Amino acid sequence: MRIADKMNYEQVNSGLQKNRNELSSLQNQAATQKRINKPSDDPLAATRVLAARTDIGASQQYIKNINQAKTFLEFSDQSLGELTEILVRAKELAIAQSSDAGANDATRKVTATDIEQLHGQAVQVGNRKIGDRFLFGGFKTTNPPFTTNGEYRGDDGEIKIAINKEANVSMNVPGSRIFIGENKRGVRAEPKAEPDSTVATELRGPASAESSEESGQGSAEGVDLSGLGESWRNRGTNIFSVLSDFEVSLRANSKEGVQDTLERIDEALAQVVLTRSEVGSRLATLNSANENLTKGVVDSKALASSLEDVDTFELVSDLNKSETTLKASLASSSKLIQPSLLDFLR
């Protein structure tokens, strides 16, 4: 077969181009420290790397969700701790004023002022917010959920956040469940009968009396509530009503009313403690999910690194080899195409 000069030139160009492409690819790997810089470098490994990066991005977003929910729940738990202290203080005052041995009309009226302040503090706890979002308003996080009288203006919504592909956790507890005693079915707690409805009407005014009749609460002293049993307890306890009724009993100098308040304060405390345990359970779930996601991010990064990162020692060796090969190709090519037209004209 006749070998033409054109064939020699094409072969030389092809060989040099191949060597230069290989050297350029190795230099690019050295600059980026990545073995895979485009999908064509290793299609299978590139697919696995992209999947790992997708998992990392999703996990990082879940971690952001968890951190936000943890902040919300931790501040809620702190606020519920303050509410517990308020109720404990109210119980101490109720015990002190529940007998005639160490209490009288004057001390009970002074204590009533303390209970009024505790009521105001409980309202402040109910209107606690973090940033510009109220904690206990349900979905209504932009407006205060409680009025100064303890009337609830929020809803029963629970804000859920995704902690992984298959699970959601509520980051809030509606104030209707904590303070009003409304259960998940929407049944509101109804205050027990006041010790003396006549005195209560005088202190609270006609409007309060009418609202009491509409809500179905008892209107006379001595109403037997023992027959309600667990169904009554399942309704929960209206904390603001407990404190208000306690204040009324103190101002009316009613020992029986103060004694009746003790049991209701215990129910309110149990209600708050139960809610705090629920919040604590959610925080434990978030911490566990956060640990798993963090470990998953580390594992995914390790997998992606093992697939796309270069071996430095191997890379340096390949660079030297490729550079030597290119120099050898240039030297041999110069001898192969050395004759020119001037050489033939001599």
| 128-154 pLDDT tens trace | 999 889 999 999 999 999 999 999 999
pLDDT in tens, 290-341: 999 999 999 988 888 878 767 666 767 766 777 777 667 766 666 666 666 5
DSSP state at residue 289: H
Q: Where are the domains of the chain?
A: 55-297
Cα separations (Å) of 252 from 98, 181, 219? 13, 26, 15
Q: Which long-range contacts (CB under 8 A, 24 or more apart) does 292-295 make?
A: 292/164, 293/59, 293/62, 293/63, 293/66, 293/163, 293/164, 294/63
- Nearby residues of 164 by Cβ (< 8 Å), 6 or more positions away: 62, 289, 292, 293
Burial tier of 90 (Cβ tally within 10 Å: 0-12, 13-18, 19+): buried
Q: Give backbone dihedrals phi and psi of 116, rounded to 5 degrees, phi first.
A: -60, -40
* Cβ neighbours for 317, distance < 8 A, ≥ 6 positions apart: none
Tokens for 253?
């100098």
pLDDT tens digits in sequence order for the chain, 346 residues long: 566 666 766 776 777 677 777 767 766 767 777 777 777 777 888 888 889 989 999 999 999 999 999 999 999 999 999 999 999 999 999 999 888 777 888 999 999 999 999 999 999 999 999 988 999 999 999 999 999 999 999 999 999 999 988 899 999 999 999 999 886 443 344 444 443 433 333 333 433 333 333 333 333 333 333 433 443 345 689 999 999 999 999 999 888 999 999 999 999 999 999 999 999 999 999 999 999 999 999 998 888 887 876 766 676 776 677 777 766 776 666 666 666 655 555 5
Stated pTM of the model: 0.69
Question: Which of 3.10.20.520, 3.40.630.40, 1.20.1330.10, 1.10.1760.20 is the CATH number of 55-297?
Answer: 1.20.1330.10
